Structure 1
Amino acid sequence: MTRLVLDDRFDAPALDLDRWVPHYLPQWSTPELTAARYDLGPDGLRLRVDADQRAWHPDEPGVRVSSLQTATFSGPAGSERGSHRHRPGLRVVTPEPTRLLCTPTGGRAEATLRMRPDPTAMLAFWLAGTEVDDPTDAGVLCAVELFGHAIRPGESDVNVGVEAHHDPRLQDDMATLTLPLDATQWHTYGVEWSARAPGIRFTVDDRVVRVVDQQVAYPLLLFVDLFDLTDGGPLDPSLYPKTGDVRRVRVWSER
């Protein structure tokens, strides 16, 4: 049995900072580089990457991000402890307090999203292990990745699945599904899982599109991310801002 623990329609005058941290992995970089750019309006949350926005990390010059997340955690400056160590070599630059705003260990999470057909942009909804208690609690449930270049008339490619990262109990199991949907319109992408039994279900508009026979049994934080993925060279300002829309996020927890 689950209970609703988060339901945000992004219809308030300001972002609810008791629910969201408006930064992308702030422990691995500096606040001015990790801060999200966004607007709130009649359709909810619009994440933006602007032409003057710098890469989120000096070692990833082609990656600009505007992201919200529901927890932070890190060790001291210079350490390797922190949530979502997605690549080797990351060390804490800005120590973060442990803030666990919404970190379910099982249940269901869903986001209603809309994406533009932009060749360098990607909108994602992920859940990742907080790693607070154990650095191997690091798996990722990818509820959806929407790449702008993979949106076509009458169909869109969506990436869903599991990434193990530093969790030896998991195996990478990602898939690209071609679905008969227009990702430039609103659709709800979800993931259901349990800490008590294997079986991770990925859904689109309440329809199961994939099942992965693995199990995650530790707290996960949510990410809603807009990425601009380039070669790191000069940008054409006329192609900005990049945008991705979020109308609603809901989470039900087993606990």
Structure 2
Amino acid sequence: MHETFDGDRLDRERWLPHYLPQWSSRAESAATYEVAGSELRLSIPLDQGLWCPDTHTKPLRVSGVQSGVYSGPVGSTIGQQPFADSQVVREEQPAWWGWTPHHGRIAVRARMELSPTSMASAWMVGLEDSPERCGEICLFEVFGSTITPDGSRADVGTGLHPFRDPALVEEFSADTQDIDVRQPHTYAVEWRPDGIDFLLDDEVVRSSQQSPAYPMQMMIAVFDFPEPGADATHVPVLAVDGVRADPLS
């Protein structure tokens, strides 16, 4: 799969422009985005509302796309990436799989404009069509608060989160990298049956002997955690100019 975001429309056979809509609704989880200049530009304008304001403990705004979605019926606890115990579905999401790789070299090329209260990330998650198929492979997670004033360095999180997958253990850290995240960089994983390499601009930055044993969907999102007294004029942006998956030899 080679996605270059050419044209002016999002490929709706591949991407859903919502963030975990089962916990709110498609109307309330809709992303703010545009496809222009061979980029998918996700942003959070000043007037964008909070996501799950009555159930998410910390105020959160988010614009994201995902390449699959699934939940049980309204009132059930069946759904992808619940953020609280006994989370219940508010809007049922029929199973839809736009792109769900299992192994390979998966890369996202992106740039971001973040404030100290915002964050950008790209990650793979299990489909959760069975509860234990829920692990996460994080390609990058960058908090704006870690970017140096001159933009020359930032902490880039990579690794795995097991959630409810008993076959995985937590293996995640955010390490300082000498990159300007405002410029495009390639964040990738080489996911094999016996392990995963995490790469930044084609250089391996960490390796793991773990490997989720099921297909995964891609999640790409920009987040803002509004705080009293924080800069209320900054619009966080995550711009992606390529997503691709290639087989490993």
Alignment partner of 1:50 is 2:48? no
Report sequence identity in percent: 36
Question: What is the aligned-residue RMSD (CA, Å)?
Answer: 1.7
Instruction: Give the aligned partner of residue 59 of structure 2.
Output: 62
TM-score norm. by structure 1 comes to 0.90
Instruction: Give the aligned partner of residue 252 of structure 1.
Output: 246
Instruction: Give the aligned partner of residue 183 of structure 2.
Output: 185
Shift of 1:150: 1.4
CA contact (8 A) 2:28 2:51 kept: yes
CA distance in 2 between counterparts of 1:7 and 1:145 reads 22
Gaps of 5+ in 2: none
Shift of 1:238: 2.4
Deviations 1:130-179 (A, max 9, x none): 111x2011100011001112122322210001001111111111111111
Q: Secondary structure at the match of 2:27?
A: helix
Alignment partner of 1:38 is 2:36? no
Shift of 1:253: 5.3
Gaps of 5+ in 1: 1-5
Letter in 2 for 1:164: P
Shift of 1:234: 8.2
Alignment partner of 1:243 is 2:232? no
Letter in 2 for 1:177: D
Alignment partner of 1:23 is 2:21? no
Shift of 1:89: 3.1
CA distance in 2 between counterparts of 1:248 and 1:220 reads 18
CA contact (8 A) 1:105 1:253 kept: no
CA contact (8 A) 1:145 1:160 kept: yes
CA contact (8 A) 2:24 2:90 kept: yes
Alignment partner of 1:88 is 2:85? yes
Shift of 1:248: 0.8
Q: After the TM superposition, list the runs of 4 or more consecutive aligned residues in structure 1 that deviate by more than 3 angstroms.
A: 233-237
CA distance in 2 between counterparts of 1:79 and 1:234 reads 38
